[in-house]
Amino acid sequence: SGAWRHEYANPFVTASTIQALHFAKEAGIRVSAGRLKTGAKSLSDSRGDNGAFAYATGRSAGNVAPEASAGRSPLCELALLLEGQSTPERLEQAIETSFKHHELLEAVRRYDDHSDRYGNGGFFFWYDLEGRAAAIEASPSPKKSAWQQQLRDIVFQIRQADGGFLDSHELGKSYGTAMGLHVLEAVTGPRP
């Protein structure tokens, strides 16, 4: 199918892998252009006309609600953009949709499973925010600075009393804190 997997072939792992291979290629490492092309095709096939991405490869994206894809869409759209299969406008739409439906992700943040009617899972919370941060960082949109501030505000609002972060109890506070700091670093902007 061209997709990558963790337990099953899916768009979000495919997007992360395409992004990693793109950066490896930029660093001078030889990467199979054919493998990137089939991965991007698989990812593109997972995108519906409304910009939402199916949860698993092989599922129809035509009936996926944007609310169900709000977490993964920025990362997926970024991977397609890196491979020349998307546009800055589509990336902007994915970022805007992720902010529009952020409360759905926040509502399930501390649950260790798919917890709402859209299938959003708390254990994806920081992964989704990291994808959104990477998409914002790569976007040429004039909204970039406002999005960075908006994401910083979201992250600081959920900081725990000791300064750490937590989404899934299964993954733990070390993971949550590392991801929270990573997201903040990505949306802080260039350092002097």
- Listed range (10-24, 31-45, 49-63, 138-152) with the worst mean pLDDT: 49-63
CA–CA gap between residue 114 and residue 118 (Å, rounded): 8
Distance CA 101, CA 148 (A): 17
Q: In the numeric block, which tokens belong to residue 59?
A: 């599922």
Please provide the size of the chain in residues.
192
* Domain that includes residue 48, residue range: 11-186
Whether residue 4 lies inside any domain: the answer is: no
d(CA 79, CA 39): 10
Number of domains in the chain: 1
Does residue 191 lie within any of the structural domains?
A: no
pTM of the model: 0.92
Q: Is 2 within the bounds of a domain? A: no
pLDDT at residue 118 tops 80? no
DSSP for residue 65: -
Residue 5 lies in a domain: no
Contact 81, 93 (CB under 8 A): no
Is residue 49 in some structural domain?
yes
pLDDT of residue 189: 67
Q: Is residue 3 part of a domain?
A: no
